[in-house]
Structure 1
Amino acid sequence: MHQNPQQPYPQQPQPRYDRQPYTQQYPPTVIVQKKGNGCLKAVLVGAAVLTILVVIGVVLGSRSDDAQVSLTDGPEVTAQAAKPGKSQAPRKAHVPGLGDLVKDGKFAFKVTKVEKGLSQVGEGFTAHEAQGQYVLVHLTVKNIGDEAQMFTDSAQKLIDAKGRTFDADSGAAIWLQDSNAFLENINPGNSVNGLLLFDVPKNLTLKAIELHDSIFSGGVTVSLR
């Protein structure tokens, strides 16, 4: 069935504007009000906590200051000494040996050579046999004082590895050529080459010789090892 072109289109329903606009619905706000003095208590608790924190800070600060004072006022500590379990090994003192110049009182000494294992010294009627073995110590003695000084072998001591000391054999030494060790008077600035003779056991292990400018001096030790 054909529609009449003159007939208008059916009318569309008009929108209604009398309705209320759409709004999102939210749950009602509930305000809870505490009874009594709850706010006042909260303020007081907060103030008390703050006061405690301030007091703790002051105490810690004062302890830190005390610690700094004790560290700066006390003896200085090295980094090595502060390491636990590691102690610094003591440094060994240097002991002079052959060829070293040493001094005691008015004399300067230099031990140049050591001989051992001699069964006798001298020849003919001047020969002397050792009870054990003879040890000869060659040395140079110089007077570094301002007046003459007597050098004698009786003031010198030989020391073995066990710490025992031995006197020089003056009776046999006087027969040695160029010994210059028995009551030799040395003027200031002069020096002599001498020999010290010791009669010691055959199995002796030499350690050192103790040299003195007199029997009353402190002496100086020279290693013979």
Structure 2
Amino acid sequence: MSNPGPLGQPPHVPPTPAPGWQPAPVPGAAPARRRGWLVPVLVGVAAVVVLCCGGAIAVVATGDTTTGDATSPAAAPASPETGGSSPADEGAPAKKPKKDEPAEEEKPKAYGVGDPVRGGDFQFTVHGVKCGLTQVGTDFLNKKAQGSYCRVSVTTKNMTKKAQMFHADNVLRAEDGEGREYKPDGVAAMYGNDDAQGFLDEINPGNSVRANVFFDVPKGVKLKTLVFDAGLFTLAEDAVVTL
């Protein structure tokens, strides 16, 4: 809006500047300085802030990681109870599993003269052995040996609940030191026992019979063992007596 002029005069209208006109600079006034220094300063400050804050963050992160490793149950060394392995176990060579060793066979119990032994349905006790006999019986009724007789005195007891037939020829056998096997001489047993004991004797349960059993062996040979046969129809093992 134009300023009013003196009373009774028309208002003063300033002239309109022509296009492209600029005011003349004020004498003595310095031109405005450009702010070119501001950008480098801001960049330097930002770099310092990043270095300081980044170092602090790294320290804090390292501290958190260390604390977590020290206190975390997952970082704790595994105990043997939980199935973990210690450094010593890892360095030691792996143990090889033991092979199944064959069980030692149980040796049969050794029996001697005077020991009762079980053989099948009977229990036997050897009382003594005498070798070097040339004949058995009397001067008129006798049996002569091919070599010499070994006489074995044996008591036989029935261990079952029924009467059993005992015949020495089917139950006993003898062996010498070279492993040769001998059978009893039944005829010599008839001459060498009163009432032919030991030859087809029927023994009732719990009863026993004592008899002489004769083995015809080469002259000078001595018996080493007696074997009592357990029989064909039993799971019992043969009994062996060392003479």
Q: Give the TM-score normalised by structure 2.
A: 0.55
> Secondary structure at 2:74's aligned position in 1?
helix
- Pick the aligned partner of 1:195 from 200, 208, 212: 212
Partner of 1:221: 239
Residues in 2 aligned to 1:163 and 1:114: alpha-carbon distance in whole angstroms: 18
Equivalent residue runs for 1:140-219 within 5 Å: 140-154=155-169, 155-178=171-194, 180-202=197-219, 204=221, 206-212=223-229, 214=231, 216-217=233-234, 218-219=236-237
SS of 1:175's equivalent in the other structure is: helix
Aligned length: 168
Deviations 1:48-95 (A, max 9, x none): 45555643536x23x52459xxxxxxxxxxxxxxxxxxxxx9886532
Q: 1:35 to 1:148 in 2, by over 3 A?
A: same
Q: How does 1:1-225 map to 2 (within 5 A)?
A: 35=52, 37-49=54-66, 51=68, 54-57=73-76, 60-61=78-79, 63-66=80-83, 94-124=109-139, 126-131=142-147, 133-154=148-169, 155-178=171-194, 180-202=197-219, 204=221, 206-212=223-229, 214=231, 216-217=233-234, 218-225=236-243
Q: Percentage identity across aligned positions?
A: 31
Point out 4+ residue stretches in structure 1 off by more than 6 angstroms.
none
Question: 1:151 deviation in Å?
Answer: 0.6
The 3 A distance-change label for structure 1 pair 55 and 127 is same
1:28-48 CA-to-partner distances (Å, cap 9, x unmatched) read xxxxxx845334334433444
Change (3 A) 1:187 1:41: same
Give the direction of change, closer, same or farther, for the CA distance of 1:219–1:183 in structure 2 (3 Å limit). Answer: farther
Q: For residues 56 and 139 of structure 1, do their structure 2 counterparts lie closer, same or farther at Cα, with a shift above 3 Å needed?
A: farther
Q: 1:45 to 1:127 in 2, by over 3 A?
A: same
Larger displacement relative to structure 2 (183-192 or 172-181)? 172-181
Structure 1: 5+ residue stretches without partners:
1-33, 68-88
Residue 144 (structure 1) shift: 3.0
Q: Where does the alignment leave 5 or more consecutive residues of structure 2 unmatched?
A: 1-50, 85-103
User: Considering only CA atoms, is the larger Rg found in Structure 1 or Structure 2?
Assistant: 2
Give the C-alpha shift of residue 203 in structure 1: 5.9
1:206–1:224 CA contact under 8 A, matched in 2: no
Distance verdict in 2 for CA 1:52–1:144, change over 3 Å? same
Residue by residue over 1:111-170, the C-alpha shift from the partner in whole angstroms, topping out at 9 and shown as x without a partner, is 111122334333445231233x42221111122323221111122122344554322122
CA contact (8 A) 2:114 2:127 kept: yes
Distance 1:156 1:118, change over 3 A: same
Once the two structures are overlaid, the 10-residue window that deviates more, 139-148 or 155-164, is 155-164
Residue pair 1:114, 1:135 contacting (<8 A) in 2 also: yes
Residues 1:39 and 1:165: Cα distance change in structure 2 (over 3 Å):
farther
TM-score, normalized by length of structure 1?
0.58
Q: Secondary structure at the match of 1:37?
A: helix
Q: Distance in 2 between matches of 1:50 and 1:93?
A: 70
RMSD: 3.4
Seen in structure 2, the aligned counterparts of structure 1 residues 203 and 48 have a Cα distance that, compared at 3 Å, is: farther
Tell me how far 1:219 sits from its aligned partner. 5.0
